[in-house]
C-alpha cells in the first residue's frame, strides 16, 4: 500500500501555536493558526486552549 493511501485513512489537524507576553504584562497570550488557512484563534488562558483542543478531538 502506498504512503498516500495510508495518509487518507486518518484525520489530522495541524496548527502553529504562538505564546507571547507583552512588556509589563504578567499574563501570557496564546493563539493557534491553522496551516490550511490564515484563520487564527486567540485564547486568554491555557485552559481555554485545552478545552478547544479537547472539543476538536471529540468531534
In this predicted model, what pLDDT tens digit does every residue of 4-40 receive, in sequence order? 556 567 788 899 999 999 999 999 999 999 998 899 9
This prediction's pTM: 0.72
> How far is residue 33 from each of residues 2, 3, 6, measured CA to CA in Å?
30, 26, 26
Positions of E strands within 1-59: 15-20, 29-34, 40-43
Higher pLDDT among residues 3 and 22, named by residue: 22
Residue 36: domain span: 3-57
> Total domain count for the chain?
1
Q: How high is the pLDDT of residue 8?
A: 67
pLDDT tens, residue by residue, 36-59 = 889 999 999 999 999 999 999 888
Q: The cell 502506498 sits on which residue? A: 2
Q: How high is the pLDDT of residue 4?
A: 57
Amino acid at each position: 500500500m502506498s504512503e498516500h493511501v495510508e495518509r487518507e485513512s486518518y484525520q489530522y489537524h495541524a496548527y502553529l501555536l504562538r505564546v507571547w507576553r507583552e512588556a509589563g504584562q504578567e499574563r501570557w497570550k496564546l493563539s493557534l493558526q491553522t496551516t490550511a488557512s490564515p484563520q487564527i484563534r486567540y485564547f486568554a488562558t491555557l485552559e481555554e486552549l485545552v478545552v478547544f483542543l479537547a472539543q476538536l478531538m471529540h468531534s
